[in-house]
Amino acid sequence: MWMDPDFYFMMLVIPAIVFSLAMQIMVKSAYKKQSRVRNARGITGAMAAQMVLAFYGVQNVRIEVTRGRLSDHYDPRTGVIRLSEGVCNAASVAAVGIAAHEAGHAAQHAGGYVPIKLRNAILPVCNIGSMLAVPLMILGFVLDFFGLITIGLALYALVVVFQLATLPVEFNASRRAMEAIDGQALLQGSDRAGAKKVLNAAAMTYVAALVVSLANLLRFMLRFSRRR
């Protein structure tokens, strides 16, 4: 049974997917709950992002509103923090936490944070790898050409490395966010605890993505090593 490909899928990938889904539910639940709580100071997401930038002495970063739910991100190419409609002008606990996190990414770029440089350096190759890895493995399997399978596995492994490199970047951005929140007294008491719950839940989604990718990589390696 150990050599059955279906066994690899059930024992490796399915539990990882269940874990990933649980983490996504957790972050949505935390966001939904804390987005309904107005913070005591009435600070909006845009205001929080600006205050975090000031805390770290970051200049020349714009704040814009973007469509979508939980679509918040920092674009280092344009120096813009894009906050979703439910964050930018909202004065909720969740809005402050999320906006502060994105401003934390801007602070990373401004300060030359090494892990984010490493992640960005391998990003182009990882984008290619995410598109070509599985097709190359399948083609190599069909043609019985193990060289293609090896290339596909290597490309997929790079995707895993990228996700691994993402973890310190995301956790550090949240740490910077909480430091600025405390330093500027943006949130206190239960408001602070609520924002931290949102950030912790969001961080776990990146852990879950890594777990899924690792499970898939191990499944592919076991499956194709058997073919070898």
Q: Which residues are catalytic?
A: 102
CA distances from 141 to 10, 149, 159, 207 (A): 21, 7, 21, 30
Beta bridge partners of 192: none
CA distances from 174 to 89, 151, 156 (A): 20, 35, 28
